[in-house]
Structure 1
Amino acid sequence: MPRPRSTAPAWPVHAGFVAVLTVAGTSYALAGPTGRPLVFFLVTALPMITFLISLGNGSLPDRRPWTLAVLGLALLLVIPLRWPDWLGGLHLGRAEGSLTDLTMSTAHTLFLMGTAVALRRRASADPGGMIDAALFGICAGGPLWEWLVRPHLPDGATAGGQLLLLGDLLVLCAVAGCLLRIGMMAEAGRGTLAYLIATSVLTLAAMITSAAPPGGEALWSAELLLAAFLCIAAAPLHPGASALTVPPPAAAQARKLRLWWLAASLCANPVIAAVQVIRGEQSSSLLLPLGTLLVVPLVLARIRLLSTQRDRAERTLAYHATHDELTGLHNRRHITAEIDRALVDLDRGALDEVTILLCDLDGFKPVNDRYGHPAGDAVLRTVAARLTAVVRADDLVGRLGGDEFLILCRGSAGLDPTDLAARIAETVATPVALPDATAAVGVTTGVARARPGQGLTREALISHADAAMYAGKAGRGRPSSTLEAVRHQA
């Protein structure tokens, strides 16, 4: 029986990578000017082969991000076919603004799109992850451009070429940022991530080393670029590749954003400008206006997202503090506080009457005993919905606990307590459909009413309603709401 892909050992992939890297690197170093383009083409074609094989045999179930990577690899494969002397002729990282540079930049942008799709899959509950990855790209790419690439650009570098090279540098750093963000949540896919991150780092290193020397041998940058292609070729073969885009459990998605990261994002360009002043550099940098235009909106978007998440959390906490978790009704604390507010309004003349109805279910315990607590919970939720539907729009319905409910009615307009108690009894008595049975419960309602000048406290009002409810349970033949209404009017 074949071993599942996700549990297969990873050492054959690592061993194969080292072997192919040794052969390819040695072959490129020993080959002459006519042989090196062929070696480079073969290495560039290898990732296409491994990706297409993995997509074809179903090893990569989420096809979209990997398909975007294949499109990027196809564009990169055009370069050695169309411009075989591009790498050996020291054109990499020279900001020439050529069609070759545009092709490479477009391919890297497709890689960024693929990693962004993978990040969205992994961090569906964390939309700020993509903003963080973009900030990482700008913060990391800025110093690389300003201190390692731009000072070594040749005199023939065009403004368009510099803009294209800077954008490519930022895109590669953003790819690395997306991959690092995925790595925070994808333990099963970290082997594949390591190869993909190494691809970004090696490509950046190739661009930097190619731009640094004023001329001469391009061997080091070529070897680094070959290693980058072999890393991305190994990525889909790693056993963890299939788990890379699978969303993790919700608990594993949450990651705190440290404020120092936003501070670093805002300080990146001022720090670069300060270093320029210290060095006495007079030339203006394309990075500063472009980087600022990118960083500020991203930081503002991240702060807005954090503010939205905080407001949502505060609303959730406020809701849970005032509502019953099972039924969604107001809880005991909130409903009793509302009674106090209603009595204050009664004393100052804003209300002509405050009425409460205390409802206790009859026959609820046998439902729990016979059908279990899930069935009892379903009955309580159904009763809560029915009570909410039968009262006036401004009346408050709360659950005191267990099978006891309380209804607060502010004002007498349109309210007949006797009629309301009868409608409550009728609607609650309707059988409740359960998954495997039908349950029926009854209700006994006790009513208490407070009018101006009586000076009733909340405790006294609830006590009257409680006494009326128990009197109704004892009498059974006489509606408790009628008994209590008559008694308080006397």
Structure 2
Amino acid sequence: MHAGVLVATVTASAAYTVASPALRVVIFAMVTLVPVATFAGALASGHLRERRPWTVAAAGLLLLAGCMAFWSDWVPGHHFGRAEGRPADFGIATAHLLFLAGAALLLRRRGVGDVAGLLDAALFGVCVAGPTWAWLIAPRLTGSATTTGEMLALSDIAVLAAVLACLYRISRRAAEGRGPIRYLMICCAATLGSHISGTLTARTGSAVPTAILLMMAYLTIAAAPLLADAPRLTDPDRQTADASSRPPLLWIGAALCANPLIAMIQGVRHDAVAGVVLPVCSMLAVPLVLLRLRQMSLLRSRAERTLAHHALHDELTGLANRRHITAEIDRALTDLERGGLDEVTVILLDLDGFKPINDRYGHQAGDLVLRTVAERLTGAAGPADLVGRIGGDEFVVLCRGHAAAGLTALVGHPIELGVASVRVGVSAGAASAVRGGHFDRDTLIGLADAAMYAEKAAHRRRRESVSLT
């Protein structure tokens, strides 16, 4: 495929260079139809899993081919890159917008795990477009350029630069689908190059370099849907955003200041050729900055929620930890004193036979047993009850009211470890506080603890008597 694209590009470029003006129009029109044909073929054959992104991109390519056919002298006549603001400029800008919308739909899942990075890349592209326009393109525009044409051309360049930067970011992270992504990058880069070439050669040069770059863009994008890994472009990105990375506040500030700085320099120099930079680039950069700030806020909120969860929950089982459960017992006793509850019950549980399982099958098996017990206790507890793990194989259940019947019955059911089926017993002790009883948390837990160890001792005596008989 790569060799075919290279041969097609070289052949088309050589033929265009030596052809007559009339034949050049035909050659260029034929090249513009190549991606339309490849996209249609890939869609018709079912090679592409998600049709909508490719269909939108194909619609953009079809509109672009129609524009080039209707205004057949636009590239050979050296109008491309002059920012004249003619209907052809609007048609081409609309076609590019459709194609870029299709590319965005195509890659939206690829970037789902790196939204912040893609926003930064897009900001970089927009910021690069500003000085490129102000100091490379705008000073070389001909007298036929109009404000509307300049705004269209600059918008096209800025969006292409932003998409190119995003594609580069995705290509560095993607494990699959790199071939089509790189062809998309070449297409964007060649289109950007044609804009610059069209402007630099508008006064005295030839339009052939601009046409060659555009044909390269058409032929590279034509190959993208035919590659074997093209369907994988719509696969989700498995990587996740890094919430711990430092926010790029300096970069965001530079992005906001870049275009006003260019406008200020132009004002000091009394140079009006870059007057469209501030409105156009700011219109593109400010929404990206706002989205980036929102992303930073979301990441911070997510990190705060994660820290708050870890501060109050056991990492292994997800149950309430000692700090959380003791605070909830205090809150329940306060509600009891105020008349909001009739009874508060605390149940302490200690697993019997857990250590031999942990020693024989390993800590991973022991962790599985603890998680299973946690799930069973949570399922058996009432909707207002709270289950916690206070360390090792010790659990606690806070009941705001009467304790649920059969709370510990499920714990003794078999637990499948893959290599064996095991059982654990449980020793439980409960203590209740009723309204007017004036129990504090330590007293309530102490009573439950004493009851639990009494039951554990009774279990031990029962096992010893069975072994003697």
> Shorter-chain TM-score: what band?
0.7 to 0.9
Alignment of 1:19-418 (within 5 A): 19-128=7-116, 131-212=119-200, 213-250=202-239, 258-277=248-267, 279-282=269-272, 285-336=275-326, 356-360=346-350, 374=368, 377-389=371-383, 393=384, 396-408=386-398
Q: Does 2:429 correspond to 1:445?
A: yes
Quote the sequence identity (%): 46
Is contact 2:138–2:273 with CA below 8 Å preserved after alignment? no
- Structure 1 residues 303, 469: CA separation in 2 closer, same or farther (over 3 Å shift)? same
More deviation, 243-252/372-381: 372-381
1:442–1:277 Cα change, 3 Å: same
Shift, 1:321, TM fit:
2.3
Instruction: Report the Cα offset of residue 71 of structure 1.
Output: 1.2
User: Can you give the 5+ residue segments of structure 1 that lack an aligned partner in the other structure?
Assistant: 1-12, 477-490
Amino acid at match of 2:95: A
AA partner of residue 295 (structure 1): A
Q: CA deviation at 1:238?
A: 3.7
For residues 458-473 of structure 1, the aligned pairs below 5 Å read: 458=442, 462-473=445-456
- Which stretch of the first structure deviates more once superposed, 30-39 or 376-385? 376-385
Deviation at 1:296, TM superposition (A): 2.6
Residue pair 2:60, 2:95 contacting (<8 A) in 1 also: yes
Structure 1 residues 293 and 28: CA distance shift in structure 2, 3 A: closer
Counterparts of 1:14 and 1:284 in 2: how far apart (Å)? 40
CA displacement at 1:37 relative to structure 2: 0.5
Contact 2:344 2:399 in 1 (8 A): yes
Looking at structure 2, the residues matched to 187 and 329 of structure 1 have their Cα atoms a distance apart, in angstroms, of: 37
- Partner Cα separation in structure 2 for residue 184 and residue 269 of structure 1: 28
User: Is the contact made by 2:243 and 2:300 (CA closer than 8 Å) also made in structure 1?
Assistant: no
Counterpart in the other structure of 2:409: 429
Distance (whole Å) between structure 2 residues aligned to residue 246 and residue 264 of structure 1: 34
Where 1:34 maps in the other structure, the secondary structure is: helix
- Equivalence for 1:15: 3
Structure 1 residue identity aligned to 2:452: M
**CA 1:351–1:225 in structure 2 vs 1: closer, same or farther (change >3 Å)?**
closer
Following superposition, the deviation at residue 407 of structure 1 comes to: 3.7
State how far apart, in whole Å, the 1-side matches of 2:146 and 2:88 are.
Answer: 14
Q: Taking structure 1 as reference, are residues 58 and 185 closer, same or farther at Cα in structure 2, changes over 3 Å only?
A: farther
SS at match of 2:310: helix
Is contact 2:263-2:274 (8 Å) kept? no
Do the aligned partners of residues 199 and 122 (structure 1) sit closer, same or farther apart at CA in structure 2, a change above 3 Å counting? same
Segment of structure 1 superposing worse, 28-37 or 200-209: 200-209
- Conserved? CA contact 1:116–1:130, under 8 Å: no
After superposition, the Cα gap between the structure-2 partners of 1:112 and 1:67, relative to the gap in structure 1 and judged at 3 Å, is same
Q: CA deviation at 1:35?
A: 1.0
Partners of 1:17 and 1:397 in 2: how far apart? 64
Change over 3 Å in CA distance of 1:301–1:38 after alignment to 2: same
> For residues 253 and 78 of structure 1, what CA distance do their matches in structure 2 show?
44
In structure 2, give the amino acid aligned to 1:399. Answer: R
- The CA distance in 2 between the partners of 1:264 and 1:191, in whole Å, is 33
Measured after TM superposition, the shift of residue 338 of structure 1 is 5.5
Secondary structure, aligned partner of 2:430? strand
Query: How many residues were matched structurally?
Result: 448
CA deviation string 1:52-81 (max 9, x = no partner) = 333344443333322222111111211332
Task: Give how far 1:405 is off.
Answer: 2.2
CA distance in 1, matches of 2:272, 2:86: 28
**Hey, what's the Cα distance between the residues in 1 that align with 2:59 and 2:130?**
27
3-state SS of paired residue (1:358): strand
- 1:481 corresponds in structure 2 to none
Question: For residues 456 and 234 of structure 1, do their structure 2 counterparts lie closer, same or farther at Cα, with a shift above 3 Å needed?
Answer: closer
TM-score (normalised: structure 2): 0.80
1:183 CA displacement: 1.4
Question: Residue 35 of structure 1 aligns to a residue in which SS?
Answer: helix
Partner of 1:95, secondary structure, is coil
Residues of 2 paired with 1:255 and 1:317: CA distance?
A: 12
> Which residue identity lines up with residue 429 of structure 2 in the other structure?
T
- Offset at residue 463 of structure 1 (A): 4.2
The 1:475/1:175 distance shift into structure 2, 3 A limit, reads closer
Superposed CA deviations along residues 177-227 of structure 1, whole A, max 9, x for unmatched, are 331232132133323222211111111111122122324521221122122
Q: Which amino acid aligns with 1:161?
A: G
Give the whole-Å Cα distance in 2 for the aligned partners of 1:177 and 1:264. Answer: 17
> Residues 21 and 230 of structure 1 are in contact (CA less than 8 Å); yes or no, is this contact kept in structure 2?
yes
Distance in 1 (CA, whole Å) between partners of 2:294 and 2:355 is 50
2:298 aligned partner, one-letter code: T
Conserved in 2, the CA contact under 8 Å of 1:93 and 1:208?
yes
Per-residue CA deviation, residues 262-302 of structure 1 (Å, 9 max, x unaligned), is: 23311221331243245442566122123224323321221
* 2:167 and 2:184 in contact (8 A); partners too: yes
Which runs of no fewer than 5 residues in structure 2 stay unpaired?
A: 460-469
CA distance in 1, matches of 2:439, 2:410: 38
Do the aligned partners of residues 178 and 68 (structure 1) sit closer, same or farther apart at CA in structure 2, a change above 3 Å counting? farther
Kept after mapping to 1: 8 A contact 2:56/2:102: yes
3-state SS of 1:91 partner: coil
